Structure 1
Amino acid sequence: MSAVSFHDLAKLDSDGRAALMRRSEADLSGFMEKAKPIVEAVRTEGDAALVRFGRDFDKANVEIGKLKVTEAEIDAAFGLVDKEVIAAIQFGIDNIRRFHEEQKPEAMWLKEIRPGAFAGDRFTPIRSVALYIPRGKGAFPSVTMMTAVPAVVAGVPELAILTPPAPDGSVDAATLVAARIAGVETIYKAGGAQAVAAAAYGTETVRPALKIVGPGSPWVVAAKRLLAGVIDPGLPAGPSEAIIFADDTVKGGLAALDLLIEAEHGPDSSAYLVTHSRRVSEEAIAALPEHWARMTEQRVTFSKAVLTGSYGGVVLTSSLEDSYRFVNDYAPEHLEILSTDPFAHLSHITEAAEILMGPHTPVSIANFGLGPNAVLPTSRWARTYGPLSVTDFVKRSSVGYVTASAYPAFAKHAHTLARYEGFSSHEHAVSDVRKAYL
């Protein structure tokens, strides 16, 4: 096999350092061109296009009239999933619900800005949201948990899941179990760019939504960008990425163990171990073959492609400060701080969507139900976006109320500024003209 990619940061020029910042989704131009006819076909042909693309892309036996999962299929799923898996889903959903209930904003607040004048915010659920659950490189009931729970907590009245069907036309049974436990019963058998288009335009079966959330392949990301004028594409969540930050207090084998977590998602993932300790870096590289020996062949193939390629490997820095700088420049989706004193490093890191502290908090625990949301911005969008949350499923309206006693002072200043800016109707609305009506 190829050697694990090793980067001595002190020896890289600016171009070499910039290359480490790139993700697989950086150039979506090819995907966007190919996604355009898919999107247009769904817009014009509806269900027929979903069936055709389901057969062509997912190799799935799907039929017109059977794109929506039936209640009986969801019932049957509970008999197909091991009780331990159902218990794990329930455990995760309980924690995720508790976290997001705490996160939920109060329905409305008003504050007296000046005597007799009040201003505040009111939060109401978005009317309809589509939840995209990927499947191409595995089954993800955990993504169902992470997207459905905050949407239900927010009170979205129309929720629907879109997920690619299996070759036999079925939907992953654990995904159906998670959907029902979370509180979502509307599930459609469609994936990829065609699912995003169906959510945007609607079809004979799929009801259109105002927003779509959930991670996906470059095809999904490309379709979201193409349709951003039709449907709110939500936070930018593409292929998985992680940085394992390690200081010199931990074993390199542990860092290697966690480095593989996100790397195994697929060859388009990104995963770096970042450390200033040469010992940790060398121990990590030495430990990888032992860890790979325990993994399935598919996941070994995926993670080796990442760690020996352009989007992963080991980054050796010259100091802790250089490690902090690299992490902040990279702005990862997932960040682990592996240290016996992780809080010593926390204040130095500001650009990461998820920060997991210490050797007992691997990404696995966060992905499957610690509570915080594991649908996170990728491709450096952590610099301006946060994790999926209850607030992604509500909209905020400003509320204002001025009493008769407070009106004169506000009217006076508004009248002055309206005249200065040259807006006559603004000016007249707070002038003696209004007084005559009041």
Structure 2
Amino acid sequence: MVKEIIEAVRQQGDTALRDYTERFDGVRLESLRATPEEIEEAYKEISDSLLAVIREAIENIRLFHSKQKRDSWFMTNPDGTVLGQKVTPLDSAGVYVPGGTAAYPSSVLMNVIPAQTAGVERIAMVSPPSKEGKLPAGVLVAANELGVTEIYKVGGAQAVAALAYGTETIPPVDKIVGPGNIYVATAKREVFGDVDIDMIAGPSEIAVVADETARANEAAADMLSQAEHDPLSKSVLITTSAAFAEKVKHEVERQLEDLPRKEIAEASIRQNAQFLVAASKEEAVKMVNDMAPEHLELLVDNPFEWLGSIKHAGAIFLGRYSSEPVGDYFAGPNHVLPTSGTARFSSPLNVDDFTKKSSVIYYSREAFEQHAGKIAEFARYEGLEAHARAIEERLKEE
């Protein structure tokens, strides 16, 4: 189905976007782009206190990501050789903001701010509309607060295809970032190579490591914070106490009762939750590193003592007062994290994801003549005679 959607968007452009939006989102759009009037109305729909929180979160996230920015560098050797690395921001990026069962202004902040920090000049945002043909007020406000001017009311695989290949309304971008459902993730996989992507994000997951100093109600609440995302989300407790594991299970059952997203969270807990009892701290650490969780909480007496042993985790939350939502919304580190064990080899979304690096090479005549014979010998060993001659031509007398 995703391949069919992508091909339709490539062939039919805006017409396909409108058709799929009507089919999947239940609304026929005249304008695919959010209007200034819609943005103005969005400010009236959110509270002053929420607007203040969004603005403070923006400051925190900008500060954190500003520390990640890299500069170009060059080194000069005594023989006149100049070597270096030129860091250049991408020209454009597309940000996918999920919709459907919830509104995610936090996703706007986490995807747009590192791109802006890197120096990306053009950022286009896509998100699925409601049946009224609108985007959530918080999403529009967050985008406007960041100065995003391209906001499109399109979601799903069709939005990914539009960002990758362009339509009459949506120009193509160089990279697509942001989480989404299985159709969005599959579409990103399909267009990768024609454009870059951040990652193939799977369902959310959390591992809560707790010792006897932890509180069962807090550990349960943290597990449910991820379970409410999706029936496929995974929540895991790792503890050295079987009695504590039982307490947390009881708390999860109790807290599920009045959870607004009970149906989703309960399905996640029933299908995917794990309550693991480790024989020792060392075994608990091994469980964590084997899982390589997206979110890891260390609800232990001295979490900094554990930190050095943790090799694989997307984000690490240390201590009782660093509950996972602190990172989701406010602290500053990015909440777009590697899932499904990919924290073994990948990192959270960051400023580097929106830059590319070019190697810079300058050889003086002195340096060239000193090393030309070695380079030609290396080339001939690999059977590439033209490479060797490209060097030796420069050694001939003019």
SS in 2 for 1:396: strand
- The answer on whether the counterparts of 2:189 and 2:200 sit within 8 Å (CA) in structure 1 is no
Cα deviation 1:147-171 (Å, max 9, x = unaligned): 0001111111121001000110001
Say whether residues 1:260 and 2:224 are aligned partners.
yes
SS in 2 for 1:405: helix
Say whether residues 1:379 and 2:344 are aligned partners.
no
Cα deviation 1:339-361 (Å, max 9, x = unaligned): 12101111221111111111111
Q: In structure 1, list runs of 5 or more residues that go unmatched.
A: 1-33
1:293 Cα deviation (Å)?
A: 4.1
Residue in 2 that maps onto 1:38: 5
Matches within 5 A, 1:361-400: 361-400=322-361
* Match among 57, 61, 72 for residue 92 of structure 1: 57
The separation in 2 between residues aligned to 1:63 and 1:283, in whole angstroms, is: 51
1:249 Cα deviation (Å)?
A: 2.2
The separation in 2 between residues aligned to 1:427 and 1:137, in whole angstroms, is: 62
SS in 2 for 1:123: strand
SS in 2 for 1:367: helix
- The answer on whether the counterparts of 1:121 and 1:396 sit within 8 Å (CA) in structure 2 is yes
Shift of the 136–424 alpha-carbon distance from structure 1 to 2, 3 Å rule, reads: same
Say whether residues 1:430 and 2:388 are aligned partners.
no
Say whether residues 1:212 and 2:176 are aligned partners.
yes
- The answer on whether the counterparts of 1:148 and 1:183 sit within 8 Å (CA) in structure 2 is no
- The answer on whether the counterparts of 2:21 and 2:155 sit within 8 Å (CA) in structure 1 is yes
Identity %: 40
1:235 Cα deviation (Å)?
A: 1.7
Matches within 5 A, 1:396-415: 396-415=357-376
Residue in 2 that maps onto 1:166: 130
Residue in 1 that maps onto 2:101: 137
Say whether residues 1:306 and 2:284 are aligned partners.
no
Cα deviation 1:355-409 (Å, max 9, x = unaligned): 1111111110100021111001111111111000011111111111222332222
Say whether residues 1:157 and 2:117 are aligned partners.
no
The separation in 2 between residues aligned to 1:245 and 1:334, in whole angstroms, is: 11
The separation in 1 between residues aligned to 2:214 and 2:391, in whole angstroms, is: 67
User: Higher mean Cα deviation, 174-183 or 228-237?
Assistant: 228-237
User: Higher mean Cα deviation, 334-343 or 67-76?
Assistant: 67-76
The separation in 2 between residues aligned to 1:41 and 1:92, in whole angstroms, is: 39
Shift of the 303–227 alpha-carbon distance from structure 1 to 2, 3 Å rule, reads: same
1:247 Cα deviation (Å)?
A: 2.2
1:274 Cα deviation (Å)?
A: 1.5
In the alignment of these two chains, the number of paired residues is 398
Shift of the 413–141 alpha-carbon distance from structure 1 to 2, 3 Å rule, reads: same
User: Higher mean Cα deviation, 338-347 or 92-101?
Assistant: 338-347
- The answer on whether the counterparts of 1:333 and 1:378 sit within 8 Å (CA) in structure 2 is yes
The separation in 2 between residues aligned to 1:271 and 1:113, in whole angstroms, is: 54
The separation in 1 between residues aligned to 2:47 and 2:258, in whole angstroms, is: 23
The separation in 2 between residues aligned to 1:93 and 1:102, in whole angstroms, is: 15
TM-score of the aligned structures, taking structure 1 as reference length? 0.87
User: AA paired with 2:70?
Assistant: P
* Match among 105, 108, 111 for residue 75 of structure 2: 111
- The answer on whether the counterparts of 1:132 and 1:163 sit within 8 Å (CA) in structure 2 is yes
1:207 Cα deviation (Å)?
A: 1.1
User: Higher mean Cα deviation, 223-232 or 360-369?
Assistant: 223-232
Aligned-CA RMSD value = 1.6
- The answer on whether the counterparts of 1:245 and 1:335 sit within 8 Å (CA) in structure 2 is yes
The separation in 1 between residues aligned to 2:3 and 2:381, in whole angstroms, is: 48
Residue in 2 that maps onto 1:62: 28
1:429 Cα deviation (Å)?
A: 2.2
SS in 1 for 2:365: coil
Residue in 2 that maps onto 1:14: none
Matches within 5 A, 1:416-427: 416-427=377-388
Residue in 1 that maps onto 2:148: 184
Cα deviation 1:93-138 (Å, max 9, x = unaligned): 10110111111101x1012356422222111111111000001220
* Match among 283, 297, 300 for residue 247 of structure 2: 283
User: AA paired with 1:45?
Assistant: Q
The separation in 2 between residues aligned to 1:437 and 1:80, in whole angstroms, is: 77
1:418 Cα deviation (Å)?
A: 1.8
1:294 Cα deviation (Å)?
A: 4.6
The separation in 1 between residues aligned to 2:202 and 2:90, in whole angstroms, is: 23
TM-score of the aligned structures, taking structure 2 as reference length? 0.96
1:85 Cα deviation (Å)?
A: 1.0
Q: In structure 2, list runs of 5 or more residues that go unmatched.
A: none
User: Higher mean Cα deviation, 330-339 or 313-322?
Assistant: 313-322
The separation in 2 between residues aligned to 1:113 and 1:258, in whole angstroms, is: 54
